[in-house]
Amino acid sequence: MAAVISAIDKQSVHRICSGQVVLDLATAVKELVENSIDAGATSVAVNFKDNGLEGFEVIDDGQGVDPVNYESIALKHYTSKLSTFEDLESVMTFGFRGEALSSLCALCNITIITATKDQVPMGSKLEFDHNGKLISKTPAPRTVRI
């Protein structure tokens, strides 16, 4: 008898596709370092806990995340870098898909601590669920962490 062809549930599709964006630890680090450079960072530090097995953090001195973007930063296909296909011709950043943070949220627990220059030294600590939805926001000094 032929196997039944049926749709994969949305949550599983999200996890499978996220694994195609973030293949391994090196890709995860690469995506966050690219984000730091795209944000105008002149200094980027990467710290590993137990060689990355327990997690890692990326700290940059870029422009930070404006509070108006806290809710949307980790949603799939949300980006500040382009809005139409035609924009691809002029994009000057490493990223443009709006997929990296969304995929990291699907695969692991991610926390962002950020501040714009107007907020420094105090910013916000943001936590997200596996769909990239903001689930908590608390005051904190600035860095970017996973």
Token pair of 105 as six digits = 């949220």
Query: Does residue 123 interact with ligand ATP by CB under 6 A?
Result: no
Beta strands 44-49 and 122-128 are unpaired
Q: Is 105 in the site for ligand ATP (CB under 6 A)?
A: no
Site string for ligand ATP, 42-81 (x = CB under 6 A): ------------------x-xxxx-------x-----xxx
CB burial of residue 134 (10 Å; 0-12, 13-18, 19+): middle
Q: How many chain residues touch ligand ATP (CB under 6 A)?
A: 23
The answer to whether 97 contacts ligand ATP (rule: CB under 6 A) is yes
The secondary structure of the chain in percent helix, strand, coil, rounded to multiples of 5, reads: 30, 25, 45
Q: Name the site residues for ligand ATP (rule: CB under 6 A).
A: 31, 35-36, 38-39, 60, 62-65, 73, 79-81, 95-102, 144
